[in-house]
Structure 1
């Protein structure tokens, strides 16, 4: 009599599915659920060529199916599919909600962000999105029983899917190559929103680049820098650089914005420079570039690390330089000068939940100025207009533009409420900069003072 193996009761409720079938279904799910921005842009850019758009959809779909089917291997299928699924779902939230392109520099930003900053992005809507679009489908993948063929048959079966899919992708690309080339030249952002492949590729490039960064040898620059003349009146020369955060030029009334967002600086007669541009749209790029010797077109992260920056050269010239930070760090700019990260003090007058209002930068400024004995430069790095929690960047006294969005979830607010909140951040920055000017004026009997405000980048 043959032995009989009975399935556990719970096993009988677990449907069987082939590994290739599961891979194809996961690919289709990712394309439909986690690529809204990608398909929206593709349709917009190819709307004048509907047949080319249809071929594009087919080509991208078959390419994705081929890619996921490659991982249809015993012991690898489920972990790989869940990984691709979760990366796509998480990435799609930031791409769809904020228009973020998850390139290498965005990965760098995420890697160095503070806990307080990242907390504003972990909203109820985000968690619900991850649960419904990511966790539940992943649990389904875990639950089903995947049927695997013997290795040789599996290889043949996988290739029977992968090769035709790649053939269709190539045929679709070649059939409309001129159209795609033209669209690609005009709209380089299209393929940068394809999930999950672009985020995974960006993370890999960041990891390799970070490994290379460990072996960078910094090249001294300007070691012969010196002060050509002493102060004419014998007073120490003091410059304060207010490094702004996410200050959009379009919203500065000094530059013509119809709302009065800079009343205090206007009253102090500041000089406003209209033709300034940033090196990038993220602090990790724009801040170190601002202090480097390179123009925007030549700057790279590696060049920034391997070359002395402005603070180093000032040090070579025997100028005392300090950096006070109320943002997320100096991104390497202040590695070789005295540095203070003000949120660490958690001063309850200014700080809540690991973040501080920019007035914390003013608290010890008077004492510092009173003790200056030689030519000095002080950098005050603002939290400024850092989003998406704009409402956390200013106190109630500066809620001048209302109703203002009181949540980091922009989708819960009207566009005008988001703009009101952002404009309030610029109004508060105006106040902080004006107070820096006032502090310098109070000490002008003993120092020769100047001040420069410049934001690292704007905001979309």
Structure 2
């Protein structure tokens, strides 16, 4: 078939194909992506900037102009063929996810926050994957990412692209530098005073901190743990008490001192413990603001100021020193693991038990600790330390941490999407978790008292970190320590000892009560537990043992 002398085949070859996708220059796309990320995924950064720069609007304008130029200068060189789309799409999705947690919870995504997130359980992570999060990811992340993937990018020849990119990047860098220099004194003062502000620039800091975490994790894989306290041995208890001496160390989770009625909180969140002969230390601070930091730190021989994650891995901890002394040491976990603290001792993961009376998926309420405790106590034949790692008050699903019986404070927030609850509902749910922890701790003490004829028992409770419940726009925990509010670092610390246990230490309980108001911290746990178990070793420091000043005789 022919038309006007032109065959169908010739017509098909000569006609240009219809363009179904819009085209865009590589630099233009880079600029659009850079500005989208800067202004669409940095809501918290810009809100805080507007507040902090309220008295100098010219400095705020310089900040906007300078960062815009800086982002363009950063993303333009990435607009290379085969690189631009994957990198831009990754940055958009990462920024969308990060912006949700930064904007909703006020958190800073540093390397330790990423470590904490990586080590969480699927169920715990699931509490954060709410419908609101999914909608946010769709609108802020997926749709823009699809648009980037859909458009066709026009790329210049290599040398032309290099020259063109340079013509964009150099002026942007100059503008960035001039903007910073123009109000340097203001910028220096505000960013020094509000150090969290720079940490919130998304996605630059989150991605950079993820890389930092990956590098550190790779370096840590070849660490060999060195022994500690191999000279440890048990001293004869005062009075030569023959019964096994048993200490149950309870590692609390996300319990903040501000909500413990033992420390003066107006609500009766500790009704059971308040009736028992416990010593409460009201001025105790944590080593970190997240489990992945605090748990290994609190069992480490290093004080907070000297502790690093690497040191914690390189050196044995309290559990090892107790084992060197011939004490039976076990770790029961009802959380996200021991963070390598219990790698060399007997461990039990209760969240894997599948006990439907207490568990849903891989999460269990702390009632399972009490349920399993009787059998363990009845099997004790020697001096022992049992460490119980609670799920405690871990958020945002506070409602999942306590049974129906403990919904005393109502109405309580019944979702992990805290934005759907009022401040009162969030606090009510959180206070119910503290109420249930009170019941668990009192139950442990009761079980030890019931066996006082067979063993000398004690309980040592200390939370790993606190929690923000909306104060100053912050929720959950994990803030960098240098900017962390008091509610994330001020933690409850409680000790109970049976009569025989107290006697075996030569402890003056009146003295202990009188000194309880002194400043305490996670630094005290290592040495205080050694002191409780009458362990002598060269690594024991009596100045960090909270009981040492009140002991008439440390044993022999």
Into which bin does the TM-score normalised by the smaller protein fall? Answer: over 0.9
Aligned partner of 2:134 in structure 1 is 127
2:159 corresponds, among 140, 147, 152, to: 152
2:357 corresponds, among 349, 353, 362, to: 349
1:442 corresponds, among 444, 450, 462, to: 450
Counterparts of 1:45-64 in structure 2, within 5 Å, are 45-64=52-71
What are the Cα deviations for residues 44-82 of structure 1, in whole angstroms up to 9, with x where unaligned?
222221111111111111111111111111111111111
What are the Cα deviations for residues 225-281 of structure 1, in whole angstroms up to 9, with x where unaligned?
111214722001000011100001000000000000000010112110011101111
Using the TM superposition, give the Cα deviation of residue 132 of structure 1 relative to its aligned residue in structure 2, in angstroms: 0.7
Separation in structure 1 between the aligned mates of residue 301 and residue 142 of structure 2, nearest angstrom = 47
Using the TM superposition, give the Cα deviation of residue 6 of structure 1 relative to its aligned residue in structure 2, in angstroms: 2.7
What are the Cα deviations for residues 70-112 of structure 1, in whole angstroms up to 9, with x where unaligned?
1111111111111111111100000001111110001111111
Q: Confirm whether residue 6 of structure 1 aligns to residue 6 of structure 2.
A: no
Separation in structure 1 between the aligned mates of residue 294 and residue 217 of structure 2, nearest angstrom = 18
Aligned partner of 1:276 in structure 2 is 284
Using the TM superposition, give the Cα deviation of residue 353 of structure 1 relative to its aligned residue in structure 2, in angstroms: 2.2
Separation in structure 1 between the aligned mates of residue 15 and residue 311 of structure 2, nearest angstrom = 65
Larger radius of gyration: 2
Using the TM superposition, give the Cα deviation of residue 13 of structure 1 relative to its aligned residue in structure 2, in angstroms: 3.6
Which is worse superposed, 181-190 or 130-139? 181-190
Using the TM superposition, give the Cα deviation of residue 190 of structure 1 relative to its aligned residue in structure 2, in angstroms: 0.6
Separation in structure 2 between the aligned mates of residue 295 and residue 275 of structure 1, nearest angstrom = 17
Q: Confirm whether residue 77 of structure 1 aligns to residue 77 of structure 2.
A: no
- Helix, strand or coil: the match of 1:190? helix
> Over the residues paired in the alignment, what is the CA RMSD in angstroms?
1.2
Aligned partner of 1:311 in structure 2 is 319
Separation in structure 2 between the aligned mates of residue 429 and residue 406 of structure 1, nearest angstrom = 18
1:227 corresponds, among 225, 231, 234, to: 234
Aligned partner of 1:174 in structure 2 is 181
Separation in structure 2 between the aligned mates of residue 58 and residue 386 of structure 1, nearest angstrom = 41
Separation in structure 1 between the aligned mates of residue 371 and residue 191 of structure 2, nearest angstrom = 51
Q: Confirm whether residue 190 of structure 1 aligns to residue 197 of structure 2.
A: yes
1:300 corresponds, among 308, 323, 328, to: 308
Using the TM superposition, give the Cα deviation of residue 217 of structure 1 relative to its aligned residue in structure 2, in angstroms: 2.1
Separation in structure 2 between the aligned mates of residue 318 and residue 184 of structure 1, nearest angstrom = 52
Separation in structure 2 between the aligned mates of residue 190 and residue 48 of structure 1, nearest angstrom = 17
- Helix, strand or coil: the match of 1:377? strand
What are the Cα deviations for residues 208-235 of structure 1, in whole angstroms up to 9, with x where unaligned?
1011101212221111111121472200
Aligned partner of 1:336 in structure 2 is 344
Separation in structure 1 between the aligned mates of residue 163 and residue 229 of structure 2, nearest angstrom = 63
- Helix, strand or coil: the match of 2:202? coil
Q: Confirm whether residue 368 of structure 1 aligns to residue 376 of structure 2.
A: yes
Using the TM superposition, give the Cα deviation of residue 400 of structure 1 relative to its aligned residue in structure 2, in angstroms: 0.4
Aligned partner of 1:162 in structure 2 is 169
Using the TM superposition, give the Cα deviation of residue 4 of structure 1 relative to its aligned residue in structure 2, in angstroms: 2.4
The normalised TM-score by structure 1 is 0.98
Aligned partner of 2:396 in structure 1 is 388
Moved over 6 A (4+): none
- What are the ranges of 5 or more consecutive residues in structure 1 without an aligned counterpart? none
